[in-house]
Structure 1
Amino acid sequence: MKILQIVNPIIPFPPLTIGGIERIVQYIIEELLKEGHEITLMAHNDSKVPPGVKFIPIGSYNDRKNTAKKVWKHLLFNKYDVIHNHGRLIYFLPVIWNNTSKVHTFHMAEIRSKSFLNFFKLKPRRLILAPCARWIQKENADLPGNWQFVNHGIPIQKYTLGTDLINEQSPLVIICRIGAGKGVLDAIEIAKKSNKKLIIAGIGGDNPHELHWFENIFLKQCDGIRIKYIGPVNDEQKQVLLSNAVALLMLSIDLEAFNLTMLEANACGCPVLSYNRYFPPDFIKSGINGFIGNTQADLIALAKNLSTIDREKCRLEFELNYTSKIMTNNYLKLYNQ
C-alpha cells in the first residue's frame, strides 16, 4: 500500500531523547517497510528518514502556523491508499469526504474541544479515530466517530532482559520530564519511606515557573547518594538503568495518555510501580509486570513485594502484547477497513 504518515513539526525525526510521538511513528514506519509498503513521511524540516522513505518537509516549531497549508496543498495533488495522521485533525480537510482510508492517532488524553466537535459536523468519511490507549476511548465514548484504540509498542530487540542481580540495594527509578506534575516528589517520598535509593532521569522544563520549581524545590531534595538526579538518558543508558532497577515508578499527576517508558522497563524485565490512574491500570498485571496502588501508602507497602516478580515473565508480558510489530499489525487492520 501507498501510506502517508503525518507528524506535527515540533522536533526533527527521528528523536534522540524526548519525542514519544516521533518514536512511535519511527517504529510504525520500520515495520511497514519490512512488509514492503511504500511510505511517505511529512514532518519537521530537519528530519532524516530511513532509506526508501519519501520525505516532505512541512515546517518547524517556529513556522507551524503554515503547516496545515503545506499539508493541504500536498493532499490536493497526491493520492494515497492510507493517510495516517499523528498531528491535527484539520490536516484531513482536503480528503475529508473521499474514499481514502484515514486513521487518526490521538497521542494525548485531552480530546474534547470545540474544534473536535466542529470537525465532526463535517461528517468525515472512512475515518477511524485510534487513541493510543483503551482508557482514552472509554473516557470519550460519548463523542462522535469510529473509535478503535491501538496500544503503543516498541521494537522487540530494542531492549533486552537484564541479567544483573537485583537485591535490597537495587534502586527505584523514575524517568520523565522533571516537573511537579510528573509525581517526582512522590517518588522521593516513596523511596525514603521504603528505605530504597532513587535514581531520577530526565530533563526539566524551560518555562520560568518550571525552572523555579526545578532549582528551588526539586534539586534541594537530591543528595546525590540516596536520591540521585542524573539528567537525560539515551536508549543505551536506559537499558543499564532499568536492568539494574528494582522497579520503575509511574506516578504522573497530570493527564498522561500513554508512557513508552513502561514498555521499555518491562522489555528489560523491570516491573512498574504505579498509581491507579490513566494508562497503567490497563497495562499492569499485578504480580506479573508490576503493581498498582491508589495511594502513596499503598505503593510503599507494595514495594516490599517487588522481589516476588519473575523478571523473565515480566519481559514475556511485553513480548506478547506491546511490541512495535503487534502495534503495526493492529494499525494495518484499521488501514484495510
Structure 2
Amino acid sequence: MKILLIMDPGIPVPPKLYGGHERLVYLFAEEYTRLGHEVTLLAGPDSHCSGKVITFGANDLNRSKMQQYKEVLFVWKYLIKNHQKFDLVHNFGRLIYYFPILNKSVKKLMTYGRPVSRRGIRIINALPNKNLVFTACSNNCVATGNVAGQWHTIYNAIDFDQYRLNEGVAPDAPLMFLGRLDKIKGVHNAITVAKATGNKLLIAGNISHTEDNYLYFKTEIEPCIDDDRIVYLGALNDEEKNNYLGQAKALLFPIEWDEPFGIVMIEAMACGTPVIAFNRGSVPEVVEDGVNGFRVNNVDEMISKIDSIQLIDRFACRQAVIQRFDVSIVASQYLSLKTT
C-alpha cells in the first residue's frame, strides 16, 4: 500500500526535543514502512524518515498567517497533482488540507491530538466527501468533535522498545514532572506536592514563550527552583527522558485542563514509573488505579498517594500499557479502519 503522511510545519519530524505530534508521525512513518508499505512524508524542513520525504513551509511555531496560507496552497497543489498515487492519506495536520480531494476516492484519515473545532467538522461534512474517517487520541478528545462524520478512538503510541524498564528505585528516589511548562500543565501543583511530602522534584520541559505562560514560569515556578530539592532540567531529548523517568519513583501529572492524551504518562509507565494524575481529560482512560498509578482529584489527594507508590509493581506497570499503546498495535488499528 502507498501511504502519504501529512504533518504541519513548525517542528521537524521527528523533533529533537519538544514535539509530541511530530514524534508520533515519525513513529507511524517508520512502522508503516516496517510493515512493507511505501511511505511518503509531507512535513516541515529538516524532517526525515525511512520513506520518501517532501518538505515545505517553515519551522517556526509563530510563523505568520501569510506563511501558513502559503503552506496550505502547497499541500493543495501537491494533493491535486498526486492523490491518485496513494491508497491512503493520513493527515495529522490541518483539516483544510483535505479540501481539494474531499470527494476523491482515495481513503483519508484525519487524526486529532487536541480539542477539535466542531465548526470545521460540520463544514467539511456538509460538503460532498468520500472515504473520510476521523480519529482522535482518546474518547475524551473524540467527544470534542464528534458532531458529524465517522469517528473512532485510536490512542497515541510510543515505541516501547526505546524505553528501558527500571524495576526498582530507592525510597528517596525523586518525583518527576515532565511537560510543557504552561500553567494548565500544573507544574506549580507538582512543586506543592513535593514540598509537602519532603520529596525531591525533577522538572523537565520547555518554557513557553507566550506572554502569560512565560510570566507564570518567571513568577510562580522559577523562584521555587533551588537546584537541590526542586531541580529544573530543561527540555530533554529522548535518551535523557528515558534516563530521568526511569530514576523517578513517580511521575506527577497534575493537569488543570482536559488533556486530550498525555504521551508522557505512557512514556513514564514504559520505564516502570507509575503516574499520579488529576482525574480529568484522558486520564481515566490511561491510568488504572493501583496498577500503573493513581487517579486523584486535587493536590491533597495527590499528596496522600505518594506513600502508596511503593505498592505498585513497576514491571506490571509497564505490562499494563504495552498491549494498548505500543506503536505496532496502534498502527495496525489505523490501517484496519474501514471507510463508509
1:203-255, Cα deviation, whole Å (9 max, x unpaired): 11113333322222211112221111111111111122111111001112134
CA RMSD of aligned residues (A): 1.6
State the 1:335 CA deviation: 6.1
2: distance between equivalents of 1:218 and 1:315? 31
> Counterpart of 2:155 in 1: which secondary structure?
coil
Larger mean Cα displacement after TM superposition, 250-259 or 83-92 = 250-259
The answer for the alignment partner of 1:50 in structure 2 is 49
1: distance between equivalents of 2:170 and 2:26? 36
The answer for the alignment partner of 1:98 in structure 2 is 104
State the 1:149 CA deviation: 1.2
2: distance between equivalents of 1:113 and 1:147? 13
Amino acid at match of 1:323: D
Contact residue 103 and residue 335 of structure 1 kept, 8 A = no
2: distance between equivalents of 1:71 and 1:57? 10
Alignment of 1:216-235 (within 5 A): 216-235=219-238
The answer for the alignment partner of 2:318 in structure 1 is 315
**Would you say how many aligned residue pairs link Structure 1 and Structure 2?**
332
State the 1:306 CA deviation: 0.4
Contact residue 102 and residue 335 of structure 1 kept, 8 A = no
Alignment of 1:1-337 (within 5 A): 1-47=1-47, 49-51=48-50, 53-60=51-58, 61=60, 62=63, 63-78=67-82, 79=84, 80-109=86-115, 111-141=116-146, 143-163=147-167, 165-334=168-337
1: distance between equivalents of 2:8 and 2:44? 7
2: distance between equivalents of 1:258 and 1:32? 22
1:33-80, Cα deviation, whole Å (9 max, x unpaired): 111101111111332x234x1222221143222111111111112121
Contact residue 258 and residue 280 of structure 2 kept, 8 A = no
In percent, how many aligned pairs have the same letter? 33
> Counterpart of 2:239 in 1: which secondary structure?
helix
> Counterpart of 1:15 in 2: which secondary structure?
coil
1: distance between equivalents of 2:329 and 2:45? 30
State the 1:317 CA deviation: 1.3
TM-score normalized with structure 1 length: 0.94
State the 1:139 CA deviation: 4.3
2: distance between equivalents of 1:127 and 1:201? 38
Amino acid at match of 1:284: V
1: distance between equivalents of 2:335 and 2:120? 28
1: distance between equivalents of 2:157 and 2:45? 26
Structure 1's consecutive aligned runs of 4 or more residues displaced over 6 angstroms after TM superposition are none
1:121-174, Cα deviation, whole Å (9 max, x unpaired): 114221110001122223444x001001110111121101014x4233111100
State the 1:336 CA deviation: 7.3
> Counterpart of 1:196 in 2: which secondary structure?
coil
Cα 1:14–1:255 shift into 2, 3 Å: same
> Counterpart of 1:157 in 2: which secondary structure?
helix
State the 1:29 CA deviation: 0.8
TM-score normalized with structure 2 length: 0.93
Larger mean Cα displacement after TM superposition, 248-257 or 21-30 = 248-257
Contact residue 287 and residue 293 of structure 2 kept, 8 A = yes
Runs of at least 5 residues in structure 2 that lack an aligned partner in the other structure: none
Contact residue 83 and residue 102 of structure 1 kept, 8 A = yes
